[in-house]
Amino acid sequence: MRAAVPFTLSLLVLAGCLGGGAPAETKAAVNATAGGGLNLQSMASGAPPVDAAKPTLDAPPQWRQGEWWTVKVTDGFDGGVYTGTRIVAGMEPDDYLVGMPQGEFSDQLMVLHIPGFGQVSKKDLSFDVHNKNFAPLNFPLTEGKEWDTAFEGRPIHAKAHVTSPTEAVISLQGANDHMNVTYDATLGEIKKIAYDGYADLEVTGHGYGYQGVVTVPHMFKLVFQNARVAGVLDGSAAPQPGVDETVTVDPTFDRVSFVILLGNLQAGVPTAAGYYRETVTGPDGTSYDLQYAPPEDAGAYKMGFFTAQHPGGDWKFHHVAAGPGIAMAEGIAYHVYQIDLPSGRILPSTGQHHHGG
């Protein structure tokens, strides 16, 4: 999915982004729960001791409980700018648990997929995007090192270029994807992402010792991604005459963050005609609606971000794409854990109730 590409190429990109098209029939989402709740491990907190080893590119960083980064993300669709704070709330055997301040949870950052939240691998800081692992780093980071990964399921080839003893730039190339990722060992994290036509990320601050309640989106999963393109095509560019779809979401999820995306797919062509509308109705009967009638914000996309609690059940989608563009909804469902810092105590929450805490 990209913001300004030729219409025929857009269909190909969307086919990759939508993973073969959304189901026209009712389909249950696979339960992402592995059972039993969180398996928290003890971990160091506060700033590293003064005699700690100096950061290098040789090994992944050792994150600390309460470590935080502030970020700014600029999306490539409608130019929206979103800020937030990523906080290491805890650690399981193989993953760090990364969340946001309880009162500042961002649906925008969840749905744009960068930076990573939820379970972030201790081995390489990778995380899931569209239910597939995305590994923009591969330690040790050495000059010319290459590996394969995927973003939203689309294959991407990565190659590292070391620019200093503590910094490397990784170029990730796919058929219709190009991003440069800058890793800074002194921050223990990716400090910059430039992803053509998708989004840019910048780390604006870093520190230790966060205090407060952190919301962790645990075991998140892409549960719906439904669209119509140019009126009668689904996300895989296959003919799909119907405009209504239903998807069943597993009832054990606590929350869903989702986006409605509307707009023109023709690069450089003024949006002088057409009408786009997406109506999403949740299991509780709540409707979420977005409309785009050119020449409103001509040539751009229009996006709306939403949250729904207790998303289990049937979700209904009504698509109208009357023109050379798209009407689409994408949702990421997850289990919610509230972790108090600095104590590390798991507070009573929906996720704990469902999965045993």
Rounded distance between C-alpha atoms, residue 258 and residue 224, angstroms: 9
Picking from 223, 306, 222, the residue whose alpha carbon sits closest to that of residue 261 is 306
Q: Is 224 exposed, middle or buried (0-12, 13-18, 19+ CB in 10 A)?
A: buried
Rg (CA), the chain: 20
Return the structure tokens found at 227. Answer: 């669209």
Backbone angles phi, psi at 281, to 5 degrees: -120, 125
* Tokens 């405009």 belong to residue: 243
**Given this model, what pLDDT does residue 13 score?**
42
Q: Are 271 and 295 in contact (CB under 8 A)?
A: yes
Q: Sketch out the chain's domains with CATH numbers.
A: 7-31+217-336 (2.60.120.1540), 68-210 (no CATH)
Rounded distance between C-alpha atoms, residue 242 and residue 115, angstroms: 35
Return the structure tokens found at 158. Answer: 């990565």
User: What is this structure's pTM?
Assistant: 0.86
Task: Kindly report the length of the chain.
Answer: 357
Picking from 128, 137, 83, 130, the residue whose alpha carbon sits closest to that of residue 105 is 83
CA distances from 36 to 22, 355, 357 (A): 31, 5, 7
Each of the 357 residues of the chain gets a pLDDT tens digit; together they read: 443 344 443 443 444 454 433 333 333 333 333 334 788 999 999 999 999 999 999 999 999 999 999 999 999 888 899 999 999 999 999 999 999 999 999 999 999 999 999 999 999 999 999 999 999 999 999 999 999 999 999 999 999 999 999 999 999 999 999 999 999 999 999 999 999 989 999 999 999 999 999 999 999 999 999 998 876 555 555 555 568 999 999 999 999 999 999 987 765 555 556 788 999 999 999 999 999 887 665 556 889 999 999 999 999 999 998 888 889 999 999 999 999 999 999 998 755 445 433
Return the structure tokens found at 93. Answer: 């055997």
Return the structure tokens found at 223. Answer: 């549960």
